[in-house]
């Protein structure tokens, strides 16, 4: 792969410009002050957990930082923050996620939103600790737990605040939430609500077709495994309005995704 793909970056400029998530672990006080001075906002921060010892373990870094204090310093300076929790099965889920969300929600509205995304695992794990991937049952438990937290937060702070990655809905075979439930789609580029938004966009485009357009054509959609069922749905929506045959082909990513 190209060299840049091997770089573990904590560059706040990339966070601001492209939505990259940073951990704050490797930043100096001067760099934090620079964010504040130049109003680099919003900033995307990977929190994972607010338990200091667990966070050090997950980050593989013994540097002892109080992530909540760092976040509070940024928010007090009017820097908007979006966070993510990369969820690792049997590590920072269950009771840990409830604690983390309760801690982070205390910083709302400066802390705007939190995404819960599954850890990405590939076959390339030499010299790394063994991690268990989420399955249908464990993914369903995440969806259920976080949905309950959303309901509490909506009542208490008038926003769902925490949003679940599309992968969890797909793996648990749960329906995607309604369009309105994603609120402002603050974490769209993090895979939060992409499937719902795409489906709605397609439905909006075809609903104004007054009669079945005749193309007499055949096309193929190529997709990864995770989005296959969604693309089947999309193809049916289109074929219902346009006289075209759509084949959907799923491709397994043996290079990066396996």
pLDDT at 123: 75
pLDDT at 95: 97
What is the domain class of 3-193 according to CATH?
alpha beta
Q: How far from chain centre, in Å, is Cα 115?
A: 5
- b (16+ CB within 10 A) / e for 94-133: eebbeebbebbbebbebbbbbbbbbbebeeeeeeeeeeee
pTM: 0.90
- Yes or no: say if 30 and 67 are a contact pair by the CB < 8 Å rule: no
pLDDT at 121: 83
Q: In sequence order, what DSSP letters do the residues of 1-53 get, joined into one string?
A: --GGGG-----HHHHHHH---B-STT--HHHHHHHHHTT--SEEEE-S-S-HH
Task: Walk along the chain (258 residues) and give the pLDDT tens digit of each residue.
Answer: 666 655 555 666 666 666 789 899 888 889 899 999 999 999 999 999 999 999 999 988 888 789 999 999 999 999 999 999 999 999 999 999 999 999 999 999 999 999 999 998 877 777 677 889 999 999 999 999 999 999 999 999 999 999 999 999 999 999 999 999 999 999 999 999 999 999 999 999 998 887 776 677 899 999 999 999 999 999 999 999 888 899 999 998 877 666
Domain with CATH 3.80.30.10 in the chain: 3-193
- b (16+ CB within 10 A) / e for 51-74: beebbbbbbeeeeebebbebbbbb
Residue whose C-alpha is closest to residue 190's, from 35, 86, 68: 86
pLDDT at 12: 66
- Collect all residues with Cβ–Cβ distance below 8 Å to 110 and sequence separation of at least 6: 74, 75, 76, 78, 79, 80, 81
């Amino acid at each position: 792969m190209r060299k840049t793909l091997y770089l573990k970056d904590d560059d706040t400029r990339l966070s601001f410009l492209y939505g990259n998530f940073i951990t704050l672990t490797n930043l100096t006080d001067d760099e934090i002050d620079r964010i504040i001075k130049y109003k680099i906002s919003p900033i995307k921060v990977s929190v994972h957990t607010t338990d200091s010892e667990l966070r050090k373990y997950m980050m593989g870094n013994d540097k002892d930082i109080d992530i909540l204090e760092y976040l509070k310093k940024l928010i007090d300076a009017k820097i908007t923050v979006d966070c993510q929790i990369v969820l690792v099965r049997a590590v920072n889920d269950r009771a840990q996620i409830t604690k983390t969300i309760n801690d982070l929600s205390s910083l709302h509205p400066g802390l705007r939103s939190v995404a819960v995304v599954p850890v990405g695992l590939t076959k390339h794990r030499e010299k790394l600790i063994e991690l268990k991937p989420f399955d249908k049952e464990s993914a369903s438990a995440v969806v259920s737990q976080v949905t309950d937290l959303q309901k509490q937060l909506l009542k208490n702070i008038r926003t769902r605040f925490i949003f679940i990655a599309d992968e969890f809905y797909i793996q648990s075979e749960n329906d995607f939430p309604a369009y309105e439930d994603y609120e402002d789609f603050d974490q769209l580029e993090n895979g939060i609500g992409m499937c719902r938004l795409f489906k709605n966009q397609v439905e909006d485009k075809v609903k104004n077709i007054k009669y079945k357009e005749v193309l007499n054509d055949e096309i193929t959609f190529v997709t990864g495994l995770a989005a296959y069922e969604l693309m089947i749905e999309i193809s049916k929506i289109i074929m219902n309005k346009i006289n075209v045959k759509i084949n959907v082909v799923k491709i397994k990513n043996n290079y990066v995704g396996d």
